[in-house]
Amino acid sequence: MAEIQPKYKQLCARFLAELKRDKKRAAVLGVAAIVAIFVFAKLLLGGSTPARATGNSAGAAVQQSGQAAPAGAGLAAADDPGQPSQRPGFLAVRTISRDLFSPNDIYFPPEQAKTTKAQVADATTSADAEAELHQKMVLAQAQSLLLQSTMISDSATAIINGRVLRVGEWINGFEVKDVAPMACTIEKEGVSVVLKMSQ
């Protein structure tokens, strides 16, 4: 017993010397000790247990019927309509008149169809390709026409495939637009073709 007493005193002296040497550690240990004492005293002295939660009428309805009650049934049942509400303002039962899931057109306007540059380029390319194909078809049809002669006088005429034609007359779907020496301009569906005499 006599040996235990000096060892205890030695340990206490060493502990105090360490605390004096490192003041931060001493402060942290002191705060931790105070908190531990406070919690321990609260557990010993404050022996009251928290009140058990009781279910409301909506909970009872769920247990009895096995089906879920409406969302606001529990809150509405807890408030007596004859008595003023005991709940704070943020817990008071409110009715919402608008549909929360329908977007407001003011804040979320419907999106307009947006055409990207690629779509415009594709449309332009396809239109150009179609016009080029149409032009090639008209030129291929014009190859069947042979300008044999032209006569420039008061009324210019051209002989095409053995027919004498004046300006404004038609041959194989082509209209004669102009007659010049050694050449004739014909047109079909907006595509002009110049026929030249072979020399």
> Residue 143: which pLDDT band, with cuts at 50, 70 and 90?
confident
Quote the CA–CA distance of 149 and 144 in Å, as a whole number: 16
Same domain for 116 and 178?
Answer: yes
| Domain hosting residue 96, numbered range | 88-199
Q: Is 29 part of any domain?
A: yes
Whether residue 32 sits in one domain with residue 104: no
Mark whether 33 and 113 lie in a shared domain.
no
pLDDT of residue 36: 92
Say whether pTM exceeds 0.85.
no
Together in a domain, 25 and 121:
no
In a domain, 119, yes or no: yes
Give the model confidence (pLDDT) of 147-195 as tens digits: 888 888 778 898 888 888 888 888 888 999 989 888 999 999 888 888 8
Rounded to an integer, the average pLDDT of 128-153 is 86
Q: Report the half-sphere exposure of 189 (CA within 13 A, side-chain side).
A: 13
List, for residues 9-53, the tens digit of each pLDDT value.
888 888 788 778 888 888 888 889 899 999 989 888 875 555 555
54 located within any domain: no
Same domain, 109 and 186: yes
What 3-state class would DSSP assign to 191? strand
100 in the same domain as 189 = yes
pLDDT tier, 91 (very low <50, low <70, confident <90, very high otherwise)? low
The answer to whether position 50 is within a domain reads no
Angstrom distance (rounded) from CA 34 to CA 38: 6
Q: Same structural domain for residues 32 and 123? A: no
Q: Does 24 map to a domain?
A: yes
Residue-wise pLDDT tens digits, 94-122: 676 777 777 777 777 777 666 666 676 77
Distance CA 102, CA 12 (A): 73
pLDDT of residue 35: 93
Residue listed under structure tokens 């017993």: 1
Domain total in the chain: 2
pLDDT of 1 > 60? The answer is: no
Coil, strand or helix: which one is 5?
helix
92 and 37 belong to one structural domain: no
Is residue 78 predicted with pLDDT exceeding 50? no
As separate numbers, helices (DSSP H) first and strands (DSSP E) second, the chain gives 5, 7
Quickly state the pLDDT bin for 69 (edges 50, 70, 90): very low
Evaluate whether residue 70 is within a structural domain: no
pLDDT at position 53: 53
Instruction: Answer yes or no: is 63 within a domain.
Output: no
The span from the CA of 191 to the CA of 136, in Å, is 10
